Amino acid sequence: MKKVLKKMTVLSLALCLTSMAYNPIHAANDTNDIDYKPVFDASMQYAEKFEEIGISPEVLQEIMALEPKKESTTQNLSNNNDKVTNYFQKNKREPYNPKKYGLGYKDREKMISLMDGDNLDGNPPYTAAEQSERMIYIESVFQKEYYQDKYQSIHGAYLSYLYANHYTDNINYDRTKEPNFDEMYAQIVCKDDIIEYDKFYASMYQGAYVDAFKAGASAFQDIKTIIKDGVSTADLLTKDIVDAKEVVSNKIDAMKVIMSENNYTNEIMDGITLAFMENYNSVENADQMISIINKELAESGGVSEAMNDLIKDYVDLTFTVITSPLVTGLVGPILAVTFFYANVLSTLMPVLNLTKLLVSHNARWGYRAFIYYGMDPRP
């Protein structure tokens, strides 16, 4: 009963507080002057190139998560210098692997996605580009509101909370109008937000959602560290990714010629990808992989010389991706929180889970108001 009365009191007071003048409780943070957009754009363009041969960004995400073979040579795909490559070799993080969450290449074929436009759909992004814009904005909110040291080790978790406040749990969000973030106190995370969002994210696909935000946090932090420590600049880092794209573009263009001349469709590429993914852990090098794929495809109709060339090029392409610390260390995490979130995760939120958030929404909004006006500390 006491908790109910407290919630009613909070709501009543919050309604009064909304008419008060703005009174920020945080100090200014002048460190968030990095333009992340070019780096994110270049990373997404890198992934989009693979779509020309039927490899989706989601499948590419899975390829990037594979461990390089011992016999493979580390690829420095930049024409700039090897400082960035060395940084990601020394600061290697666990990759975001969809298979870990039961969301792998073949798993997703059995899944049914929610249709955007339902009364309760979590306000999913329409495109990966929109998701990229959202994440860059949410990061700016984090840097402004939660820049203190105690939040840096839980950066990814707070990105997930802030994202939910602004979009997933924002029942009045309307992308056709000016954002209602201020009136929702979306930049504030209260204790009950943390409790409800932790339950919400944990109930879906074994942590896939929070881990995607953690991947995004690692990308933001790495970009920031690289620039702050003088490893590179934002412009040169973007150029590094563009250079990496040019390397794979040449390989992809050569594969497109083979596909065109032999009328190979994306279904052929799906078969090669399936054989590659299913056998990768059992081989030691590229030659063994080429041999196994050839053998498996031969069982379904034989392998022509052109097909053999395509398989060789495919393995060369994928090994180039897997052995690039820049690509797996930075492009991969960015794809996790943009393409994979937009195209997979945002479409798989059960309405029941979203409804559970709705039940506590108004009370949590009131608690945020308390924090906003300095009446309660931030958790």
Q: Which residues, at least 6 apart from 353, have a Cβ–Cβ distance to it below 8 Å?
A: 200, 203, 204
**Which residue reads 């309307």 in tokens?**
174
* Residue 305 lies inside a defined structural domain of this protein: yes
- Please state, in angstroms and rounded to a whole number, the distance separating the CA atoms of residues 327 and 320: 9
* Residue 13 lies inside a defined structural domain of this protein: no
- Please state, in angstroms and rounded to a whole number, the distance separating the CA atoms of residues 105 and 151: 34
Nearest by Cα to 236 from 88, 85, 80, 77: 80
* Residue 375 lies inside a defined structural domain of this protein: no
Residue 105's pLDDT is what?
A: 85
Residue 77's pLDDT is what?
A: 53
The pair of three-digit structure tokens given for residue 42, joined into one six-digit string: 């270049």
* Residue 23 lies inside a defined structural domain of this protein: no
* Residue 21 lies inside a defined structural domain of this protein: no
* Residue 378 lies inside a defined structural domain of this protein: no
* Residue 374 lies inside a defined structural domain of this protein: no
* Residue 368 lies inside a defined structural domain of this protein: no
pLDDT < 70: residue spans in the chain: 1-32, 72-81, 112-119, 300-302
Domain of residue 257: give its range: 37-362
Residue 110's pLDDT is what?
A: 73
Instruction: Domain count for the chain, please give it.
Output: 1
192 and 369 Cβ atoms separated by less than 8 Å? no
Q: Which amino acid is at 319?
A: F
The pair of three-digit structure tokens given for residue 349, joined into one six-digit string: 């939120």
The pTM score is 0.90
200 and 164 Cβ atoms separated by less than 8 Å? yes
Residue 117's pLDDT is what?
A: 54
